[in-house]
């Protein structure tokens, strides 16, 4: 995911050259893909996604209040992280 290539610990949703990219939407799409892939392909993609998840988790902090604000955010752990601090 392009935004994990940014330096530092502040991750922004602004994509160079395109404002349409949203890191949370991209992670949602990866989750959908994992659910629909055959087992072998799911395992291969799962390894990559796991590494990306580890990096995203390392570079963000939990937002304990977001679950109370948004049912959508409560559905997935990556939506419950603050990307800017």
Q: What is the dihedral of CA 17, 21, 22, 28, to 10 degrees?
A: -150
At residue 25, what are phi and psi to the nearest 5 degrees? -65, -40
> How far does Cα 6 stand from its chain's mean position?
14
- Has this prediction a pTM greater than 0.85? no
Domain boundaries, the chain: 22-82
Render each residue's pLDDT in the chain as its tens digit; 85 residues.
Answer: 555 665 555 555 555 555 456 778 889 999 999 999 999 999 999 999 999 999 889 888 899 888 888 899 999 999 998 876 5
CB of 52 closer than 8 Å to CB of 40: no
What are the distances in angstroms from CA 24 to CA 2, 31, 43, 72? 12, 11, 21, 11
């Amino acid at each position: 995911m392009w935004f994990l290539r940014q330096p530092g610990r502040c991750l922004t949703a602004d994509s160079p050259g395109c404002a349409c990219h949203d890191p949370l939407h991209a992670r949602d799409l990866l989750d959908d893909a994992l659910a629909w892939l055959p087992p072998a392909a799911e395992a291969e993609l799962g390894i990559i996604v796991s590494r990306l998840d580890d990096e995203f988790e390392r570079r963000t902090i939990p937002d304990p209040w977001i679950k109370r604000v948004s049912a959508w955010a409560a559905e997935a752990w990556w939506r419950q992280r603050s990307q800017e601090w």
